[in-house]
Chain A
Amino acid sequence: MAKNLTGTLQIVTANRLRDGSVVFLTQTAEWTSDIRRAAVARDGEAATRLLGIGTVAAAESRVVDPYLTAVTGEGDDIMPVSLRERIRAQGLTFAAISADATRYL
């Protein structure tokens, strides 16, 4: 499944080095697990700049494999274009069994 389908609006995502969790680059160059706080690039130049910040974070061993991915909307309305990225942002599409469960569902 494509990671970065084309689109006008793009964000930078990566996995956090120490725990592998999905993170998004914010306007203040922090990494958040909340996609609604992701900085949205509106054109190619802004996207390149954002990715540059991500690449520096990877070089500093804070995140792994930063890349651009297309989204629609912003803030509360933000939604990745590809299903792969929606699953990364929102988690599994089914309910996983819990540690103490002896039955599924």
Chain B
Amino acid sequence: MYRYDEYDHAFVAERVAQFRDQVKRRLAGEITEDEFKPLRLQNGLYLQLHAYMLRIAIPYGTLSSKQMRTLAHIARRYDRGYGHFTTRQNLQFNWIKLEDAPDALADLAKAEMHAIQTSGNCIRNTTADHWAGVAIDEIEDPRIWCEIIRQWSTVHPEFSFLPRKFKIAVTGSPNDRAAVRVHDIGLRMLRDENGEPGFEVIVGGGLGRTPMIGKTIRPFLPKQHLLSYLEAILRVYNRYGRRDNIYKARIKILVHEIGAEEMRRQVEEEWEGLRDGALDLPADVVAGIGRHFAPPRYQPQPTIATETERLRFENRDFALWLRSNVVAHRQPGHAIVNLSLKPEGGPPGDASAAQMDAVADLADAYSCGEIRVTHEQNLVLPHVAVADLPAVWRGLTLIGFATPNLGLVSDIIACPGLDYCALANARAIPVAQRISQHFADLARQHDIGELKIKISGCINACGHHHVGHIGILGVDKNGTEFYQITLGGHAGDDVSLGSILGPAVPADQVVEAIDSLVRTYLAVRQDGERFLDTYRRVGNTPFKERLYATA
């Protein structure tokens, strides 16, 4: 894992001290809210419905057990004892007091964490494949490049006041697990004809009120040019991105308005002046950062993990969990364990301080002290020996994180919604809770198969509803919550945006509506088809007919 050097430590400590003084002056009335607001937002502190919300960056979703314990400590000491893992692989605390925020940030800094650039019109936390470094299909660990991007983009003077926020996602595998086509910039690693790794550069994707699929402006970029090429893209965006209308300020609108070809031309032109310069990192610098992400020293493992095999045959719950939550690892004798933060009836992505501590303990005992956060609001123990799977499963069962529902109908993404968020139009969490309770029967969930439901409480789409196989968008109709349903969205390689099924349904009919959609799928699916496959074959019509006939 990346460790702060002296520069990082000094920079974050300085920022905490600076913010402490700003908070002190604000509380003393020496600066106004208008003056203070941009300062607190630069430190990840929002004012939401009930309290301040602190959004903590978890760079590329990688956490050490020590950092997880720090998050648990902050939850206990400064919050109401729990936090919310987000679709940006970050963690949000919902009940922070302004007067406590500097202390919370100081405690975070001790664990090499901060909340800088988790808000504002700057380059946000770079996200990555949550199986980085352990996935069998991976070319190279994308976190090396995420870390390089983090260092380049942190308080980058030229890009601190962009037209709008800017999000970059990187996948180190040809199979996209980082939703790279719905980010401002998506980077997908692949090899050229000589076998050299590089990046496909995708620009102008995004969700929000105007969802767009990103366009490839360079099919292959040798990786040593990454920063100069990113700088060229950001310069073009910074120069031409619209600042007159907040709703048209993201790079996706620029790419849409001038076209991908013109965007490519401008970026390449800008890049000519930047390439082979100071931003092209020397190989030894890249190698130095790469060493932080070297695989841990795995212990030799027996060819057959007897206890694991025995339990698989004897215990149906364990077998189900292996099937849905455990994934093959590139190191023989090891496995990737996905923790479900979607217990039946629970708020998606929430974890208590006790759960965070328990995950940290399990990581220390069984996963080389390492944890990942996924953009689907779950956690990962990335380095578990197959022989340890029974112990890990028992440990996760005790804390409620072993629900065998990964990628299934109850593994729902939901934004905080109207229960917390000042922007929301409707609630998201209670809708997710009711759907997961309705589909509580795990055998049925496994029969239904892969089905990703994503819920946003407003058009800003933090719940990624546009790329849900079933997307649910909360809308406010004259003060009453309604939910618009979209079908057919998907965030993988074969990305697609959902299409609206019909009129929005009232809050009390959402579960019934989802049930109708699932029944339609079960009735018309062919052998081996997932929900998305069936939808792509038959389209909206059968779903629509059944739903609105019964509604």
Contact = CB atoms under 8 A, between A and B. Distances in A.
Interface stretch (B13-21, B347-355, B374-382): B347-355
A97 B95 CA distance: 13
Interface stretch (B26-34, B195-203, B487-495): B26-34
Interface string A79-97: 0011110011001111011
A96 B29 contact: no
A61 B27 contact: yes
A2 B50 contact: no
Contact of B33 (A19, A58, A96): A58
B430 A94 contact: yes
A17 interface: yes
A102 B430 contact: no
A67 B47 CA distance: 15
A19 B352 CA distance: 21
B82 interface: yes
A96 B418 contact: no
Contact of B347 (A61, A65, A87, A94): A94
B149 interface: no
A97 B347 contact: yes
Nearest to B356: A99
B479 A81 contact: yes
Taking residues whose C-beta sits less than 8 angstroms from the other chain, chain B's interface range is 35 or more
B426 interface: yes
B476 A2 contact: yes
18 contacts: A1-B479, A15-B47, A17-B26, A17-B27, A83-B418, A84-B49, A87-B419, A88-B50, A91-B50, A92-B50, A94-B429, A94-B433, A97-B81, A97-B355, A100-B353, A102-B398, A102-B399, A103-B343
B50 A22 contact: yes
Interface in A1-23: 1-2, 5, 15, 17-22
Contact of B99 (A18, A59, A103): A18
B358 interface: yes
A5 B424 CA distance: 16
B351 to A, nearest CB: 8
A92 B416 CA distance: 11
Contacts of B52: 19-20
Contact of A96 (B28, B345, B350, B479): B350
A81 B75 CA distance: 33
Interface residues of A, number: 36
B51 interface: yes
Interface string B75-92: 110001110000000000
A22 B49 contact: yes
Given A87-B418, A104-B345, A98 B81 contact: yes
Given A20-B96, A60-B29, A93-B430, A100 B49 contact: no
The 4 residue pairs across chains A and B that have the minimum distance between CB atoms: A99-B81, A104-B346, A61-B29, A19-B97
A71 interface: no
B427 interface: yes
Interface in B31-50: 32-33, 47-50
Given A1-B425, A61-B27, A65-B33, A101 B51 contact: no
Given A61-B26, A83-B481, A96 B82 contact: yes
A101 B352 CA distance: 6
A18 B29 contact: no
Contacts of B425: 1
Nearest to B29: A61
